[in-house]
Amino acid sequence: MTKRKRRVVVALGGNAILQQGQKGTYEEQLENVRQTAEVLGDMILSGDYQVVITHGNGPQVGAILLQNTAGLAEGVPAMPMHVCGAQSQGLIGYMIQQSLGDVFREAGREDIPVATIVTQLIVDKNDPAFQNPSKPVGPFYEEEEAKQLADERGWSIVKEADRGWRRVVPSPEPKDIAEKESIIKLLEAHIVPIVSGGGGIPVIKEKGGLRGVEAVIDKDLAAEKVAEVVDADALVILTDVNGVAINYGQPDEEWLEELTLEEAEKHMRDDQFAEGSMKPKVTAAVRFVKSGGEETVIASLGEAEKAIKGETGTKIIE
């Protein structure tokens, strides 16, 4: 019986698609994705790994929401946020899928197929997050417009420092993946799956079916759920820093090569990791290892293969 390749879920950070300071044109994003595809392609072409790809979608879904708002003046109906999330999964998946395919063709490996799955993540309709919207989404507004939108659409609006007013939505916990059997079948057929873009489309079970809800699932926690359901050996979270640090940005800053579950949880209790950036990554890392995964590695985007070999980044183990 042929031994299974090491199964790795790779969670791409936003810098894989859009770099800081860029406008976000299709050409800019495609060039970034092509560079990312080279990194991922090398991992897959090595023959050592079976890779599942997940990715963020913050700037892209933000642009779609802006386009929604602009279209209202022309009588174009705005789409719900969960539909915008689906749109962003398609556009980013298309770029990654095409770019990876190009890498494989250039290597003479047209036999490696790639497929994007528009992915729904099931959340609990009674999740406390629905009573406490906290995730900022979309553009900033002046106070008058923000309050008008809140009245007209039932939005929750908060003020962010001196930047203006912004919509906030719930960020519930991912409980399951609607398309998990499809993802597993792709892996069994030796197809590279691109899944759970932007944390997946949040849906709830209702009357025997699924219904999209206005929410955002953290992309790192969603990637961890993917790693669980596909029985991955490792979860690799790629971001724009070299790994995990304590006392980050301070004179006694310390970059960590390895963390046990106990150490990682202690640092989280000590508020070492910022909300919305490193904390969800470490939380995802801990959950994956607790669920039976061998390890989670948090590393910079350009160091993916070295990270999984244990040569760079921060490794979280039991």
Given the residues 14, 197, 199, 200, the one annotated as active site: 14
User: What's the Cα-to-Cα distance from 318 to each of 260, 277, 279, 299, rounded to whole Å?
Assistant: 5, 23, 18, 18
DSSP string, 122-174: E--TT-GGGGS--EEEEEEE-HHHHHHHHHHH--EEEEETTTEEEEEE--PPP
88 burial via Cβ count (<10 Å: 0-12, 13-18, 19+): buried
Determine contact, residues 239/300, Cβ cutoff 8 Å.
yes
Active site residue 3: no
Out of 199, 281, 293, 315, which one is annotated catalytic? Answer: 281
N- to C-terminal Cα separation, the chain: 29
For residues 167 and 157, the answer to whether their CB atoms sit within 8 Å is yes
Q: Helix, strand, coil % (nearest 5) of the chain?
A: 40, 25, 35
Q: Which of 5, 135, 175, 279 is catalytic?
A: 135
Catalytic residue among 56, 197, 219, 225: 219
User: Residue 160 is encoded by which pair of tokens?
Assistant: 């962010």
C-alpha–C-alpha distance, residues 55 and 136, integer Å: 18
**Neighbouring C-alpha atoms within 13 Å toward the C-beta of 232:** 30
135 catalytic residue (yes or no): yes
**Which token pair is 288?**
């994956």
**Residue 68 known to be catalytic:** no
Pick the catalytic residue from 15, 32, 57, 68: 15
Residue 281 is a catalytic residue: yes
Q: Catalytic residues, which ones?
A: 14-15, 135, 219, 281
